[in-house]
Chains A and B, each alone.
Chain A
Amino acid sequence: MARAFAPFALTCLRQRSRQPCLSILSARQYHSHEHASSSPFSPTEDAILSAALKYVLSSSFTAESLSLGAQDAGYLPISTNLFPSGAFALVNYHLVTQRLRLSDSFSRPDPSPQLNISDNVRSIAMQRLKGTAPYIPQWQDALALLSMRSNIPTGVRELARLADEILYLAGSDTVTTAWYTDRMALAGIYASAELFMTQDRSRGFADTEDFLHRRLQEGEKLRDAGSMVGKWVGMQAGGLIDGLRSKGVWI
């Protein structure tokens, strides 16, 4: 299941570009609440890609859908030159717009003791998976494009942004090392759930939902276990130091 994620991780490690791997993880900069963030697509790109997405159901994630979309939007087929990554631009458009759409349905909750972040993560992730539901028959093509070497950095970055978005909207306010591990774990779980979904024939993707639920619960357990180990080590060390101090050792 982790098959899809492995090449991402490898390229991430191999990448020797000036941008360190961490910039992929961070995925965003200081987020201002005083201005709505602008769309990452120009109006032209938006028009062509959204029109092309309608052809994906019949022609899949291909250059053909892209040029049909361009024609629909009133542009010459040559205008697909706008998209040097070709059909991958369509996949990327789908991923980005679906991510941005999440904040229409969910808004970050105020902190409260009743806040159940895990439940929120699950429903937001499920909602996002359902955004891909219409394209399940074509999704193998999308995955093929996503695993092409030149597209991997964009794909990984988008996955990291999605994990960050889900945790943000779920109300997570973790800003320790767990910030990284939470995002990595969620990204992995999401990617495997998406892969599972391509084989899921159950009604309303109930099996995918189960799968997602189980993976998230396992992740939660691991996370708790990790912090328990940390606490235990801390307690032992603290006890040791106190013990030595009580024996008059000068520490």
Chain B
Amino acid sequence: MHRTTLTPRTIISVLHPHRPILDFLLPAFTHHPTHFPRRHNATAASAPPSPQPPPSSYGQHDPQGAKRRTPLSPSQKSFLDSALRVNQAGELAATLIYTHQTPPLLRTHPHLRQLMHHMHAQEAGHFATFNAMLAHHRIRPTAMYPLWTAAASTLGWATGLMGKEAAMACTEAVETEIGGHYNGQVRVLVRWMREMEERGEEVGDEVRELVGTLKRIRDEELEHLDEAVGEGARLARPYRLLNRVIRSGCKGAIWVSERV
């Protein structure tokens, strides 16, 4: 599942040339992606930590000598609150887009079966990850849930009917926005971690693992982008119109979901 390619990184740095790409060069914890438990092991605060992969290096076990760990500030919490809500909504939409794109698309292009199933499976995994995070961190889902469900299903179905290129252009447009969106979140979290470390505080596992998860998911989104371009997204007609409409739709949806 977790394929590491360099392409997404190159792509995003092309997409956002003015932005620093330092966060890609970050230290080791990016290399062993720490997965949020798929089925959330929601334990009460007092319960012992789950017996899952103990990401060793950080000292939650040493009683003394542990660095101070400051609680997240209200503004940090509200950032995480809306960020994770938007992510869940986005993954809901992505899952539905592929679900509804696949049947009409496969009738004309059976060779896309594997690709579509692979992308859908990854989106379903992302969706499950954020669902579990919402339940675990007690974040409400977006109130626009039914609306996004309808919109994403329609978008997937319509672009699927329009043909392979349009479907791929849809994926390209969506993943461009989503990839940039995840990148923005990673950048913020990385800044927090740097600030915490500068103050000599310990970065909590929650934030650390979240950064790892977001990076992994972002890389997978950017793989989808690559695949879509490879399958001829740019040949869609009218490419520019589709690209512009879908991307502004994504931006609008993100804006709304951050708020309600």
- By a beta-carbon cutoff of 8 Å, the part of chain A in contact with chain B is 20, 22, 25-26, 28-36, 103, 107-108, 110-111, 164, 168, 171-177, 179-180, 245, 250-251
Q: Please report the C-alpha to C-alpha distance between residue A108 and residue B42 in the assembled complex, in whole angstroms.
A: 7
Once A29-B77, A30-B139, A31-B138 are accepted as A-B contacts, the answer to whether A111 and B69 lie under 8 Å apart by CB is no
Chain B stretch 239-257: residues in CB contact (< 8 A) with chain A: none
> CB distance A173 to B135 under 8 Å?
yes
Partner of A111 from the list B40, B71, B134, B157 (CB cut-off 8 Å) is B40
Are A107 and B39 in contact (CB-based, < 8 A)?
no
Is A177 within 8 A of B141, CB to CB? yes
Q: How many A-B residue pairs have CB under 8 A?
A: 91
Question: Do A173 and B141 have beta carbons less than 8 Å apart?
Answer: no
Alpha-carbon gap, A35 to B143, bound state (A):
28
* B146 proximal to A (CB < 8 A): yes
B145 touches which of A30, A177, A250, A251 (Cβ 8 Å): A177
B43-57 interface code vs A (CB 8 A; 1 in, 0 out)? 111110000000000
Quote the shortest CB–CB distance from A103 to chain B (angstroms). 7
B134–A175 contact, CB under 8 A?
yes
Instruction: Establish whether residues A110 and B43, one from each chain, have CB atoms under 8 Å apart when the complex forms.
Output: yes
Which residues between 136 and 166 of chain B lie within 8 Å of chain A, taking CB atoms?
A: 136-141, 143, 145-146, 157, 161
Tell whether, in the assembled complex, residue B141 and residue A175 are in contact, meaning their CB atoms are under 8 Å apart. Answer: yes
Number of B residues whose C-beta is below 8 Å from A?
Answer: 40
6 pairs of A and B residues whose beta carbons are closest in the complex: A107-B44, A173-B135, A31-B138, A30-B80, A35-B71, A30-B81
Cβ contact within 8 Å between B140 and A179: yes
Contact between A176 and B84, CB atoms less than 8 A apart = no
The reply to whether A110 and B138 form a contact with Cβ atoms under 8 Å apart is: no
B74 on interface, CB distance cutoff 8 Å = yes
Contacts A/B (CB < 8 Å), 30 sampled: A20-B260, A22-B140, A29-B80, A29-B139, A30-B78, A30-B80, A30-B138, A31-B138, A32-B71, A32-B72, A32-B137, A32-B206, A33-B137, A34-B205, A35-B72, A107-B43, A108-B42, A108-B44, A110-B41, A111-B39, A172-B135, A173-B40, A173-B131, A175-B134, A175-B135, A177-B141, A177-B146, A180-B143, A245-B103, A251-B157
